[in-house]
């Protein structure tokens, strides 16, 4: 008699989420706010990556927070395979042209181009700036779904709203992707 394989099926595995964006944008702060439920955190620059399980509304995600240094951008690619969703954090105080260019490139990566992208704008002071227009233009060729929202990484409600938005985006795509 042949044996049966009784391990978890692929669809039972937690979905894989990447957090990408410039150094100092608040990626690690966001991840550990989600994990620990507090914003009172002291982070250090990430050398390679952090990975943690994040639970929301009964669902668990494996969330990978990648180093944001420019010299890590090529190495970032090794993490793309098997990803189900991307959080791209924009540091509104950073070199915006470079960030927008990077965002546009990341959304077109083979392993990421069909995925939901949640773009979080952190540290935005001037709500009348044309930053959102630039972000939307960087997303215009991305065939997957996308959402852009302001976030205040230091505010508990804001980081929790971002997690719920991410969860919504992932659960609404799972009805079409078995
Ligand atoms: N005041 C303020 N500080 C912030 C904000 N976002 C992040 N920080 C701080 O900026 C520093 C860097 O945040 P991290 O979360 O470590 O940044 P990161 O995106 O993970 O950066 P890398 O690991 O270098 O890619 C930390 O000391 C944070 O507490 C913000 O919105 N306001
Ligand atoms: Mg970090």
Span of 8-17, 34-43, 89-98, 115-124 with lowest mean pLDDT:
8-17
- Residue of the CA atom closest to atom 9 of ligand 1: 26
The mean of the pLDDT values for the chain is: 91
What's the CA-to-centroid distance between 64 and ligand 2, angstroms? 10
In angstroms, what is the span from residue 27 Cα to ligand 1's centroid? 7
128 pLDDT tier (thresholds 50, 70, 90): low
Q: Return the pLDDT at 173.
A: 57
Orientation of helix 131-138 relative to helix 96-107, angle to 10°? 30
Ranges of each domain in the chain? 12-172
Q: For the chain, what's the residue count?
A: 178
Report pLDDT digits (tens) over 4-48. Answer: 555 656 667 899 999 999 999 999 999 999 999 999 999 999 999
The answer to whether the beta carbons of residues 128 and 158 sit under 8 Å apart is no
* Range 12-172 classified under CATH 2.40.37.10: no
| Beta carbons within 8 Å of 137's beta carbon, 6+ residues apart | 100
- C-beta separation of 67 from 49 below 8 A: yes
Q: What predicted TM-score, i.e. pTM, was given to this entire model?
A: 0.91
Question: Residue 127 has what pLDDT?
Answer: 73
Ligand 1 atom, smallest distance to 31 CA: 15
**pLDDT value at position 76?**
96
Other CB atoms closer than 10 Å to residue 143's CB: what's the count? 10
Contact 142, 113 (CB under 8 A): yes
């Amino acid at each position: 008699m042949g044996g049966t394989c009784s391990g978890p099926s692929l669809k039972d595995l937690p979905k894989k989420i990447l957090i990408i964006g410039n150094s100092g944008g608040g990626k690690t702060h966001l991840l550990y706010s989600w994990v620990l439920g507090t914003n009172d955190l002291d982070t250090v620059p990430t050398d390679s990556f952090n990975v943690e399980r994040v639970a929301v509304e009964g669902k668990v995600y494996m969330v990978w927070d990648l180093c944001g240094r420019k010299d890590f951008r090529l190495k970032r690619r090794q993490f793309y395979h098997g990803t189900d969703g991307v959080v791209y954090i924009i540091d509104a105080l950073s070199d915006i042209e470079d960030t927008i260019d990077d965002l546009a490139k990341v959304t077109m990566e083979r392993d990421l181009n069909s995925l939901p992208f949640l773009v979080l704008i952190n540290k935005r002071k001037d709500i009348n700036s044309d930053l959102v227009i630039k972000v939307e233009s960087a997303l215009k060729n991305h065939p997957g779904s996308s959402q852009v929202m302001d976030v205040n990484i230091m505010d508990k409600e804001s980081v929790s709203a971002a997690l719920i938005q991410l969860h919504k985006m992932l659960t609404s795509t799972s009805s079409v992707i078995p």
